[in-house]
Structure formats: structure tokens, C-alpha cells
């Protein structure tokens, strides 16, 4: 597994989302998921599943979810991971689930490959859920989490909402 992330045809869109986590141990909060430092990590502190929520103002195409894990984290290393998407917490559907090997490196989940027609899913809410850890661990470590979209998806986002009347425009985004 590589410590480098190849995203030449994509753009990172995590900054467009409002992020939240199910729990965090003091000193290992959500901000460490986004600090671009592979030596820091978010650590959950509560019952599983351990979740990271990413909520977008507009329905957003998510081509790839990438997270970094380190086998040195031992029982804190994620094993079973679920990616869920929807418009809100009540209608989340599982987009993909996988068992992650105990290794060090990036786990890249290409959501365009698993969706119908090869198009990335478009969601208001994306959730990464760690369902279990290696060696039966209780809490989890995730060192970095990145969200990617294709450049074309971002350029055409406004074109996909053809509303011109103010009454329609007010419902085209989440406040």
C-alpha cells in the first residue's frame, strides 16, 4: 500500500462539507481527519458503529472515498467499513461495504465503479461507518479521510439545476 494518493483526474471536495463524528477521544478529534498529517488520527470513544458524517449544501457527486489506516494502530485499525449515502440520516442507504486488510496505506473506494451506469452517486449526506476493528478492538483510528469528485461533475453542477423561479430555487439546496 502506498502512502501517496493518485487523484490526477479528480478534485478533493471535503472542504465543501460540514463534518461530524459519532464520538471522539479528547485530543483526537474530527479536525485530525482533515489535517493532511498521516501521523495524526481521529479516535472514536464510544459504542460502534463509529461514524463520520459529511453533509453537503447541494447534492454532490462523490466519485471516490479514500481513507488512510496504519497497521501500527493494531486493534484500532478498521476491519469492516460501510459507505452510506442519502439526503439525510433517515434515508441513508449502503453504497458499498468492504473488509479492509490490516496494512498501512490508503484505501480507495471508487463509488462510480459500483453505481448503476458507472456514474458517481449524488448525495447530500455521505457517511463512513466503521462497523468493526481488527483483533476485536472497541474504538477505531482513521488517520485521514478524503472525498473526491470528477472535475466535470463540479463544472456542470449548476447546469443540473435548471430552476429560474425563486420559489423553486429556495428548495434546491439544504440550509
The model's pLDDT over 54-63, given as tens digits with 9 standing for 90+, comes to 999 999 999 9
The reported pLDDT for the residue numbered 119 is 87
pLDDT at 131 over 70: yes
Q: What is the mean pLDDT of residues 98-121?
A: 88
The reported pLDDT for the residue numbered 114 is 78
Q: 123: exposed, middle or buried (C-beta count within 10 Å: 0-12, 13-18, 19+)?
A: buried
pLDDT at 4 over 70: no
Q: How far apart are CA 148 and CA 145, in angstroms?
A: 10
Complete domains list, the chain, with CATH: 10-169 (2.60.120.260)
First to last CA, the chain: 39
For the chain, state the CA radius of gyration. Answer: 17
pLDDT at 35 over 90: yes
Cβ atoms 28, 131 nearer than 8 A: no
Amino acid at each position: 500500500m502506498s502512502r501517496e494518493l493518485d487523484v490526477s483526474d479528480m478534485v478533493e471536495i471535503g472542504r465543501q462539507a460540514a463534518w461530524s463524528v459519532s464520538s471522539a477521544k479528547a485530543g483526537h478529534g474530527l479536525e485530525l481527519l482533515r489535517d493532511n498529517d498521516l501521523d495524526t488520527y481521529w479516535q472514536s470513544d464510544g459504542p460502534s458503529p463509529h461514524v463520520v458524517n459529511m453533509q453537503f449544501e447541494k447534492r454532490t457527486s462523490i466519485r471516490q472515498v479514500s481513507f488512510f489506516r496504519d497497521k501500527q494502530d493494531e486493534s484500532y485499525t478498521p476491519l469492516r467499513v460501510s459507505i452510506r449515502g442519502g439526503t439525510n440520516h433517515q434515508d441513508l442507504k449502503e453504497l458499498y461495504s468492504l473488509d479492509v486488510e490490516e496494512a498501512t496505506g490508503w484505501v480507495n473506494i471508487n463509488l462510480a465503479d459500483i453505481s448503476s451506469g458507472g456514474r458517481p452517486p449524488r448525495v447530500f449526506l455521505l457517511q463512513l461507518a466503521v462497523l468493526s476493528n481488527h483483533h476485536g478492538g472497541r474504538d477505531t483510528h482513521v488517520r485521514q479521510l478524503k472525498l473526491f469528485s470528477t472535475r466535470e461533475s463540479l463544472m456542470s453542477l449548476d447546469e443540473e439545476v435548471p430552476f429560474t423561479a425563486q420559489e423553486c430555487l429556495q428548495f434546491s439546496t439544504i440550509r
